[in-house]
Amino acid sequence: MKYKRILLKLSGEALMGNRQYGIDNDRLKEYAAEIKKVVDKGCQVAIVIGGGNIFRGLAGAAKGMDRVQGDYMGMLATVINGMALQGALEDAGIFTRLQSAIEMDKVAEPFIKRKATRHLEKGRVVIFGAGTGNPYFTTDTAATLRAIEIGADVILKGTRVDGIYDSDPEKNDDAVKFNSLTFDEVYEKGLKVMDMTAFTLSHENNLPIIVFDMNKEGNLLKIVEGENIGTLVNVNKEK
């Protein structure tokens, strides 16, 4: 097994499945089954989920809402998604803990780094909700921050495309996929991997990022076992 401790980043939109908004239970079950495969192999898994399927602070701000208020609403949306995924994982027989950056002790533990690490060591999946607990920071940044704090080997960014391309593959049939990139190459080419705060944080802490298609069955396990799936962003170019 190549990666013993991972931080899986999922977008809120990923939970919609084919719906226009909200949460698709079938998609939750699919993700839970994929996560169970790597947990059963002994991989320690932490997860950060976005909230865009329920509410996005930037969208609210664009319509005149106070940005700080909107961002806090978005953080609460990530907790709702975390609770939904927690339920699906537990239905699949996986022990989990939901930790929130905003205290809400009826539904989640507060985020405590040592506690989170201990849960992982005991084989529990830890879901981090409410972003960083601060406005103006995305869940990409939260994922990177938590990954560094818990000592994850890699950030796995699950998307609906199979890696990083030189242009949008959903709009351009001639888009070229990169199998691996250095952090510097991403800057030079102006590629969108994560928001700049999250990406810079990963770069400064030598934390690799893999962008991959989470909706393809078996991909998560293949990455954990060392197969070249998706696009790897690292300090040095992979041979």
- β-strands 180-182, 231-234: how paired? parallel
Q: Residue with structure tokens 């208020």?
A: 69
pLDDT digits (tens, 9 = 90+) for 133-178: 999 999 999 999 999 999 999 999 999 899 999 998 889 989 999 9
Domain total for the chain? Answer: 1
Task: For residue 106, say whether it is annotated as part of any ligand binding site.
Answer: no
| CATH number, residue 147 | 3.40.1160.10
Task: For residue 21, say whether it is annotated as part of any ligand binding site.
Answer: no
pLDDT of the residue at 121: 98
Task: For residue 74, say whether it is annotated as part of any ligand binding site.
Answer: no
Radius of gyration of the chain (CA): 17
> What are the beta bridge partners of residue 10?
49, 158
pLDDT digits (tens, 9 = 90+) for 79-126: 999 999 999 999 999 999 999 999 999 999 999 999 999 999 999 999
Task: For residue 12, say whether it is annotated as part of any ligand binding site.
Answer: yes
* Predicted TM-score (pTM) of this structure: 0.95
pLDDT digits (tens, 9 = 90+) for 27-52: 999 999 999 999 999 999 999 999 99
Give a yes or no: residue 102 inside a domain: yes
pLDDT of the residue at 208: 98
Give a yes or no: residue 239 inside a domain: no
Is 238 a residue whose pLDDT tops 80?
Answer: no
Range of the domain at 32: 5-234
Task: For residue 37, say whether it is annotated as part of any ligand binding site.
Answer: no
Helices marked H in the chain? 25-40, 57-62, 67-91, 113-121, 139-150, 183-189, 196-204, 219-224
